[in-house]
Structure 1
Amino acid sequence: MKLIKVHGSKNYFFILDQTELSTPLKDEDLIAFTQKITSSKGLLGGADGVLVITTSTHPDALAKMRVINSDGSEASMCGNGLRTVARYLSEKFNQDNFLVETMNANLRVRKEKKLAEGVHTFAVEISPVSFNKSSLPFKNLGHKRIIDTFLPEIYPGLKFTSIAVPNPHLISFMSQKQIESNILEEVGQFLNSNNPYYPDGVNVNFAQILDKNQLFVRTYERGVGFTNACGTGMSATSLAFCLTKPQLAKFNTQISVYNPGGMVKVIVHSKPNYWMELIGNATFTEIIDIPENSLYDLDFSKAKITKTTEQKAYENFVTSLPHFNNLTAN
């Protein structure tokens, strides 16, 4: 059996292709496997989650992707992860443009021109979009929708926008000093523990506007905590950017979104409904050969690991980015 350690903007995962197993893991086994392999004492220093590939029940989709977070919870979508799954399926089936089934929708993915030499790049659809509180959900905040709104219950002096894409996100634009403070950790931990406002938790994104069509985003991810990048978070933040700062962000135009793990491009579309294209790296760092029984036994001692050269190419790309070193210095 082969596992692959991958990342999109240093949002790290293991890809597990259940269709290659003689006996696919049941959900309880998947949760235990994910919690073990992604822990800091797991394999290769752990990861943010496991991307599980299964056979799609939709005739027009090439395969189905499930996202199991490091704590064992399941996310409805993961944009950074979908890019790596798109690459895996592209190479497995020799296709460059196809649909992948996710929890809420079949999403279009395609191979893109490389961001830099040696940096495999894919574009993935992020949708559907909803602003309704029942989709997020939130309560006790006095609003049916939250768009560029002060929420003193959550934090004084900050305006927030809340969007499901379909993962739930809470977004605030602020200064670099505020982003570098402990506000994000405070808000992220509060809203992802027992609280009266987001009962199921929420991904919290703090964004700094760098220039026209340029952002820096940090994310506290539900089920994970601080992460180098969140694909749906960067997509939702780009949509909020276009909606609330129209003098600085344009629809149907590439927005450069920097993050602690690098940079992606997001194109926000408004027709026929809101949806985003997320364009970024799909990097394979290690190929892992492991006996199938080891997945059930949670024993990774027999894993044979082959390191690729792709991480070096990605690091070269990141260090060449304008703004990056200044943004991530703190």
Structure 2
Amino acid sequence: MEFSLYKVHGSMNTFYMLDGAERNDYEELTLKLASLDPQTDGLLVVLPSETANAKMRVINRDGSEASMCGNGLRCVARYVCERDGLEEGVIETMKASLHVKKEQTEQDGIAMYAVEISPVSFQLADLPMAYNGESEWLLKPLPFVSEEISYTAVAVPNPHLIGIVPAEYQTDPTHQQKWAEYFNGPNEYFSDGVNVSYVTKVEDGIFVKTFERGVGFTNACGTAMTASALVSCLAGLAPYGDVNVYNPGGMVKCSVAKEGDSFSLRLTGNATYLSTHRFEWQEDDAKSGFLSSEPLQEQALYEKFIERTSSVTEQFVK
């Protein structure tokens, strides 16, 4: 079987994307793509939906399925809006149907999309996380991990553990990697694993580095950046409203609004097409592979955009 694929990214969180039908072997396809391309974080599948403009499935590079991906959703939003001639729409995901909207193009000519991030829960059962019989964990150290790092557990709906750290934890990721790998292996706290992000205040926002469940350290994780903006507002690192969130892949804006005890979250950033591909998928895995590839020109525009963020990111990304 032959597939037409786009290679896309949001904040350098890079995926292959295909417009397809529901199948039970997308996990195997993703593993094959990951074996051929170490730079991909997984596969985005655009499917028909009975209730929305389209449905999105997200397969991580290790073959596991994520309930949501904010960076991937921006890319799917662009594809569906351009395919169907829309300015905005609704994309069905595993846990919720989310509003997406085309935004004004960046001055460098970059396609920008805003996507809703929802639902939001601080209940440990929704991650799930188990620790000392607690129901929530907000802005407190986990003593067995570190006495100086305040952690918050939140599902958006992907599970996240957000730590607020001084800059030295960003330049040396040893601590973050140790505990992220532990929490994503056999452990008594996170039965399904968790995305672990470390957050540091910078002059006009926050910097976030994420160890993503099923992926490892990633250039950016959309739900992690949005969850980190939410936690930063709760902690007083940033005011409610639009938060500049820097990451190893660039910068996005996360909007955090508090309405009583509930929150509304929105993620705005690039949706960039890198290349198009024809891929042959055969039962004999050894015979599967790319038939052709055509690079596009959008990455050069994105690189101009992220030059403006380099003064922030370079102090943390070596």
Same fold (TM over 0.5): yes
Q: Does 1:196 align with 2:193?
A: no
Counterpart contact for 2:247–2:313, Cα < 8 Å: no
- The equivalent position to 1:6 in structure 2, one of 5, 8, 26, is 8
Instruction: Give the 3 Å change call, closer, same or farther, for CA 279–297 of structure 1 in structure 2.
Output: farther
Tell me the number of residue pairs that the alignment of Structure 1 and Structure 2 aligns: 313
Indicate whether 1:172 and 2:168 are aligned: no
| Alpha-carbon distance in 1 for matches of 2:179, 2:251 | 24
Name the CA distance, whole Å, in 1 between partners of 2:84 and 2:159: 32
SS at match of 1:150: coil
1:228/1:302 Cα in 2 relative to 1: closer, same or farther (>3 Å)?
closer
1:57 pairs, out of 42, 50, 55, with 50
Q: Which residue of 2 aligns with 1:30?
A: 26
Task: Return the offset for 1:304.
Answer: 1.2
Classify 1:97/1:243 alpha carbon distance in 2 versus 1 (closer, same or farther; 3 Å). same
Paired letter, 1:268: V
Q: Indicate yes or no: 2:252 matched with 1:264.
A: yes
CA RMSD of aligned residues (A): 1.7
**Contact 2:167 / 2:316 at 8 angstroms: preserved in 1?**
no
Could you say if the C-alpha distance between residues 325 and 274 of structure 1 is closer, same or farther in structure 2, counting changes exceeding 3 Å?
closer
How far residue 323 of structure 1 moved from its aligned partner, in angstroms, is 2.7
- Are the structure 2 counterparts of residues 296 and 327 from structure 1 closer, same or farther at C-alpha, using a change threshold of 3 Å? farther
Name the CA distance, whole Å, in 2 between partners of 1:76 and 1:34: 16
Q: Which runs of 5+ in 2 are unaligned?
A: none
Query: Could you tell me how far apart the structure 2 residues matched to 1:135 and 1:236 are?
Result: 14
TM (norm. structure 1) is: 0.90
Amino acid at match of 2:300: K
Map 1:165-244; keep pairs closer than 5 Å. Answer: 165-181=156-172, 182-211=174-203, 214-244=205-235
Q: Distance in 2 between matches of 1:47 and 1:322?
A: 23
Q: 2: distance between equivalents of 1:203 and 1:275? A: 21
Q: Name the aligned partner's letter for residue 165 of structure 1.
A: V
Residue type of the partner of 2:50? T
Which ranges in structure 1 are unaligned for 5 or more consecutive residues? none
Change (3 A) 1:195 1:56: same
Query: Comparing 191-200 with 152-161, which one deviates more in the overlay?
Result: 152-161
1:317 aligns with 2:305: yes
2:75 is paired with a residue of what secondary structure? Answer: helix
Retained in 2: the 8 A contact 1:115–1:280? no
| 1:250 maps to 2:242 | no
Alignment equivalent of 2:277, drawn from 242, 264, 288? 288
SS at match of 2:239: coil
| Contact kept in structure 2, 1:139 and 1:198, CA below 8 Å | yes
Instruction: Note the C-alpha offset of 1:207.
Output: 0.6
Matches within 5 A, 1:72-111: 72-111=63-102
Q: Is the 8 A contact 2:250 2:313 kept in 1?
A: no
- Percentage of pairs with the same residue: 41
Distance 2:120 2:84 in 1: 29
For the 8 Å contact 1:80–1:231, the answer to whether it is kept is yes
